[in-house]
Amino acid sequence: MIFRLHKNSPEVEGIVHLDGSKSISNRALMIRALSKKSFQIRNLSTSDDTKAMEALVTKKDGTLDVGPAGTTFRFLTAYFATQEGDQVLTGSARMKQRPIGALVDALRIIGADIQYLEKEGYPPLLIKSPKDLGAQSVLDIPAGISSQFISALLMIAPVLPKGLTVRLVGNLVSASYLQMTLDMMKYFGIEYEFKEQAISVGPQSYCPTDYLVESDWSAASYHYAIAALARDVNLTLKGLFRQSTQGDAATIALFDQLGLKTTWLEDGLVINKGGEKKALLEHDFILCPDIAQTLAVVCGAMGVVGALTGLETLSIKETDRIEALKNELAKVGVSFAKAPPRFSSRSGKTFYLVEGKADWSGVPVFPTYHDHRMAMAFAPLSIIKPVAIEDPEVVGKSYPDFWKDLVSLGWQIDMV
């Protein structure tokens, strides 16, 4: 299926009630399962990933297929490693290409019984009842691996007989997601100590408490992109918190540099035009990698030079997002490429440059590479001229109502 997107008017006005954050929702579901007592989770994400987490975390024995849900796979690997019974945990073809070895190694050290069923270091996994859970209570973990691995270990730490100390070795990536995990654990009564790259969590119990999930800042970023490309905008986004645990809340500061003004309400915010658009946007996305695609496309659409760093994890996401951005931005005359070494030498970071101003004839067709964020990052271009998006259903992974919300804001969507 292909969606052809077009908007007759370059102005945007309306109200969008954003879905709950997938990242927060999946952590809340994990904590509820570990607490062994029910509590209410309000504004739970309706994403495919969260639906999978909610359905599978209560299963006992059998084959559990998470599809393409990476967070769900990692959290369930740790969860079932602490439970009695045998589970086969599997996923989509892409999931079987995403490494899980570092998490499995760590879980084995603390007593988990996990076997690889196909390729060593990758899904699917056979997870059996633990042999001697908590036999070791100190782990050295490379800080440069996915923060989801570390979060998964920390969330099971309170239920281990001796607790767990995780010593982070090297530079931490996606630290905001790790802090989100610790903040949520604290909300549910867990005490921890984070000192000199070591996080210690003693044996204790989660306190079941009703919880309100903040709306998703990753989803909000696509509406900021629309606002940046609109001629005029008065757009209200509901459900976001001014004091957010999400790293993607950096969206406000980034789009402030692209000529947008954010005004806070009691239950959300309003986006208007205001301020100066800068000619260069330089940012390190190490704390917010999920909005890097959004900003790369917006920079290209506005003719703003983008100098982006902190993209180390993008190549192992739902697709190789670096290569996908390069391929698809080229269709509208925008270059996305690694900067020459001399450009990066001043900081030691790897820069990717967005250069050019988007222009196209006809209707470019953007494949999504089975990646929800590719679909939603490129869709805002349609406020300039029509574009087409392949496999539009992929947005269900994180933002099922994305197309519905665009229609409510005046978009015309035709199925080709």
Q: Residue 48 to residues 21, 172, 359, 395: CA-CA distances in angstroms? A: 12, 28, 34, 9
Q: For residue 347, is pLDDT > 70? A: no
**Does the domain spanning 22-212 belong to CATH 3.65.10.10?**
yes
- Residues in CB range of 280: below 8 A, 6 or more apart: 304, 305, 306, 307
Among 19, 49, 216, 290, the one annotated catalytic: 290
Span 107-125, average pLDDT:
96
Q: Name the pLDDT band for 34 (thresholds 50, 70, 90).
A: very high
- Which residue's entry shows tokens 């790790």? 178
Q: For residue 206, is pLDDT > 70? A: yes
Half-sphere exposure at residue 63, Cβ-oriented, CA atoms within 13 angstroms = 7
Q: Name the pLDDT band for 259 (thresholds 50, 70, 90).
A: very high
Contact 47/22 with Cβ under 8 angstroms? yes
Q: Residue 103 to residues 91, 136, 147, 370, 416: CA-CA distances in angstroms? A: 16, 15, 10, 24, 42
What are the start-end ranges of the E strands in 7-65? Answer: 11-17, 41-42, 62-65
Q: For residue 239, is pLDDT > 70? A: yes
Rounded Cα distance between 259 and 277, Å, is 5
Rounded Cα distance between 41 and 390, Å, is 34
Q: Is cis: bond before 124, omega within 30 of 0?
A: yes
Q: Name the pLDDT band for 9 (thresholds 50, 70, 90).
A: very high
Where do the structural domains in the chain lie, given as residue ranges? 2-20+214-415, 22-212
Work out the percent of the chain whose per-residue pLDDT is above 90. Answer: 79
Domain 2-20+214-415 sits in CATH at 3.65.10.10
Mean pLDDT, the chain, whole residue set: 93
248 counts as catalytic: no
Domains 2-20+214-415 and 22-212 share a fold: yes
Q: Name the pLDDT band for 68 (thresholds 50, 70, 90).
A: confident
Contact 213/241 with Cβ under 8 angstroms? no
Span 21-27, average pLDDT:
96
Contact 367/390 with Cβ under 8 angstroms? yes
Q: For residue 133, is pLDDT > 90? A: no
Q: Name the pLDDT band for 339 (thresholds 50, 70, 90).
A: confident
Cα 309 off chain centre by: 17
Q: Pairing relation of β-strands 268-277 and 232-238?
A: antiparallel
pLDDT, position 346: 60
pLDDT, position 132: 85
Q: Where are the alpha helices (DSSP H) in 167-318?
A: 175-187, 217-229, 251-256, 292-302
